[in-house]
């Protein structure tokens, strides 16, 4: 697929960039804000390695999900329904729907808090505004327009955090080793697993296997194999940007809150504390980025929910159908309930990310099985190295979850 004279065809590459970035905005959502603020304020730069590990894991897993979509022409949800028995697929479908509910909790609460910080409107009003914006963007816009909008959102979020890092001036000598050197104990395991759940998100795996169909991958296996490298570049670039933003969140929280021995109990408190410690501009940028993260991730979350619900039910993903329109916002109902009941939104955000981490094995294991299915994947079947890497990733997730549950039951977190 090289251009004339062996040159790399950058114009072709640019036309394929997009699906990975749609997925990326989903793991810099408000749930990440809660877990990263928690991790940075309580443990300083200690948990930066979790972001690095999660991103490496994410690149492997998201590439597999996208490849499944390319090879079969169907999403992960549809492949699970076709490949597994009805009881098994029904169970897996139920778990991912619960994960979507947990995701919506994070998205809508985060968007609501962002609008509150910017305009002082009540949380329920901010949540309603977030839902209206997401429904409008999904139902009234074509996919490629949504893609451009989401990439714009991602750019704004990244720019806000770049400026914030320049403002807070972190200790680079201390944070640099923490990016790659693991450090975790019983006091930090809960937050570490929550960060993992906030980065490697089940609904994003389902989403990537579906939005990849927005690109024309050719008809023959040869054409698809040649074009697959563009998907890998798209995914790797997008995940790298997600790593930068997530790492920036922890760095800012560590520099401002942990560096000043401030205990942060909510996103609202984080914003209020950021202003006197780092200046009003930092507080304003924090709120702006949170709004864009909430709305952007709500859009991609709803896109995933529609695919999951229609895919497991064996229905067409048609915006003109009643099922499609209901699926766009049905999982938002628990979020409104939480806001109306006045529950601790920060604790709920952290817990929602742990729910995602616990569900991950029920997404990863079917993905591994499907990607090793020679009849289904053909030449795209996962090779031994990729498969072993994915098995190790799944094992790490499961072990961390067992450790988390043990620590929780014994009261050690």
Residue 335 belongs to domain with CATH number: 1.20.1740.10
Higher pLDDT, 365 or 131: 365
* pLDDT score recorded for residue 181: 92
For residue 47, pLDDT over 80 is answered with yes
d(CA 406, CA 19) in angstroms, rounded, equals 37
Full 3-state SS string of 98-137: HHHHHHHHHHHHHHHHHHHHHHCCCHHHHHHHHHHHHHHH
Q: What angle do CA 227, 232, 233 make, to 5 degrees?
A: 100
Q: Quote the distance between the C-alpha of residue 139 and its chain's center.
A: 22
* Burial class (CB within 10 angstroms; exposed 0-12, middle 13-18, buried 19+) of 60: middle
Q: What angle do CA 204, 311, 303 make, to 5 degrees?
A: 40
Q: Is the residue at 1 inside a domain? A: no
| Residue % of the chain over a pLDDT of 90 | 33
Six-digit token string for 19: 């699906």
Q: Quote the distance between the C-alpha of residue 239 and its chain's center.
A: 10
Q: What angle do CA 409, 412, 413 make, to 5 degrees?
A: 95
Q: Is the residue at 162 inside a domain? A: yes
Q: Provide φ and ψ at 316, rounded to 5°.
A: -70, 145
d(CA 154, CA 245) in angstroms, rounded, equals 9
User: Using one digit for the tens of pLDDT, what is the confidence trace for 48-103?
Assistant: 999 999 899 889 999 999 999 999 989 999 999 999 999 999 999 999 998 888 88
DSSP code at position 263: P
d(CA 396, CA 399) in angstroms, rounded, equals 5
Distances (CA, A) of 94 to 17, 98, 231, 312: 32, 6, 29, 9
Q: Is the residue at 17 inside a domain? A: no
d(CA 139, CA 153) in angstroms, rounded, equals 18
- The tally of CA atoms less than 13 A away on the side-chain side of residue 294 is 32
Residue carrying the six token digits 């009805």:
86
d(CA 312, CA 79) in angstroms, rounded, equals 9
For residue 321, pLDDT over 70 is answered with yes
d(CA 43, CA 259) in angstroms, rounded, equals 10
Phi-psi region of 314 (alpha: psi -120 to 50; beta: other; left: phi over 0): left
For residue 46, pLDDT over 50 is answered with yes
User: Using one digit for the tens of pLDDT, what is the confidence trace for 228-279?
Assistant: 888 899 999 999 999 999 999 999 999 988 878 887 767 777 887 787 788 8
For residue 138, pLDDT over 60 is answered with yes
d(CA 168, CA 147) in angstroms, rounded, equals 32
* CB-based contact 130:108 (threshold 8 Å): yes
d(CA 19, CA 113) in angstroms, rounded, equals 28
Q: Is the residue at 159 inside a domain? A: yes
DSSP element (H, E) containing 365: helix 345-371
* CB-based contact 296:134 (threshold 8 Å): no
d(CA 258, CA 252) in angstroms, rounded, equals 9
Give whichever of 24-28, 29-33, 313-317 has the largest mean pLDDT. 313-317
Distances (CA, A) of 402 to 46, 97, 275, 364: 21, 22, 39, 16
Q: Is the residue at 148 inside a domain? A: yes
Q: Is the residue at 327 inside a domain? A: yes
Q: Is the residue at 232 inside a domain? A: yes
Name the residue among 240, 269, 255, 209 with its Cα closest to residue 71: 209
Taking residues 344-356, report their average pLDDT. 73
Q: Which of 95-109, 160-174, 289-303, 325-339 has the lowest mean pLDDT?
A: 325-339
For residue 408, pLDDT over 80 is answered with no
DSSP element (H, E) containing 60: helix 48-72
User: Using one digit for the tens of pLDDT, what is the confidence trace for 268-287?
Assistant: 778 877 877 888 888 889 88
* Burial class (CB within 10 angstroms; exposed 0-12, middle 13-18, buried 19+) of 384: exposed
* pLDDT score recorded for residue 279: 81
Six-digit token string for 320: 């003109």
How does the average pLDDT of the chain come out, rounded?
Answer: 85
List the domain range (segments joined by +) for residue 310.
38-255+264-409
Q: Is the residue at 6 inside a domain? A: no
Taking residues 120-140, report their average pLDDT. 85
Phi-psi region of 383 (alpha: psi -120 to 50; beta: other; left: phi over 0): beta
Higher pLDDT, 102 or 156: 156
* pLDDT score recorded for residue 341: 81
* pLDDT score recorded for residue 197: 65
d(CA 104, CA 197) in angstroms, rounded, equals 14
* pLDDT score recorded for residue 317: 84
Structurally, the chain folds into a number of domains equal to: 1
């Amino acid at each position: 697929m090289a251009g004339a004279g062996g040159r790399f065809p950058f114009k072709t590459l640019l036309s394929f960039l997009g699906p990975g970035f749609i997925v990326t905005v989903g793991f810099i959502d408000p749930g990440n804000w809660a877990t990263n603020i928690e991790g940075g304020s309580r443990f300083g730069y200690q948990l930066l390695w979790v972001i690095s590990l999660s991103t490496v894991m994410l690149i492997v897993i998201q590439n597999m999900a996208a490849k499944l979509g390319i090879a079969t022409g169907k999403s992960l949800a549809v492949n699970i329904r076709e490949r597994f028995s009805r009881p098994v697929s029904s169970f897996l479908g139920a778990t991912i729907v619960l994960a979507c509910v947990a995701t919506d909790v994070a998205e809508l609460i985060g968007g609501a808090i962002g609008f509150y910080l910017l305009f002082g409107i009540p949380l329920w009003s901010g949540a309603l505004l977030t839902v209206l914006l997401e429904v409008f963007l999904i139902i009234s816009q074509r996919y490629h327009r949504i893609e451009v909008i989401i990439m714009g959102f991602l750019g704004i979020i990244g720019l806000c955090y770049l400026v914030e890092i320049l403002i807070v001036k972190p200790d680079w000598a201390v944070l640099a080793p923490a990016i790659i050197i693991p450090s975790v104990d019983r006091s930090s395991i809960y937050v570490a697993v929550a960060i993992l759940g906030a980065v490697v998100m089940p609904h994003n795996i389902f989403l990537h296997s579906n939005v990849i169909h927005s690109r024309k991958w050719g008809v023959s296996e040869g054409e698809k194999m040649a074009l697959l490298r563009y998907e890998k570049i798209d995914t790797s670039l997008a995940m790298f940007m997600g790593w930068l933003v997530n790492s920036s969140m922890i760095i800012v929280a560590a520099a401002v809150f942990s560096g000043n021995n401030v205990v942060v109990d909510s996103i609202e408190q984080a914003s209020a504390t950021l202003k006197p410690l780092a200046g009003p501009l930092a507080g304003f940028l924090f709120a702006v980025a949170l709004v864009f993260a909430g709305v952007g991730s709500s859009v991609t979350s709803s896109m995933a929910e529609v695919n999951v619900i229609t895919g497991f039910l064996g229905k067409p993903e048609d915006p003109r159908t009643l099922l499609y329109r209901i699926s766009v916002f049905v999982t938002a109902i628990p979020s409104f309930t939480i806001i109306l009941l006045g529950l601790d939104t920060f604790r709920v955000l952290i817990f929602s990310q742990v729910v995602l981490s616990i569900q991950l094995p029920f997404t990863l294991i079917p993905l591994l099985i499907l990607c090793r299915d020679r009849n289904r994947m053909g030449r795209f079947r996962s090779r031994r190295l990729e498969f072993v890497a994915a098995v190790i990733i799944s094992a790490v997730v499961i072990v961390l979850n067992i450790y988390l549950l043990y620590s929780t039951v014994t009261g050690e977190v």
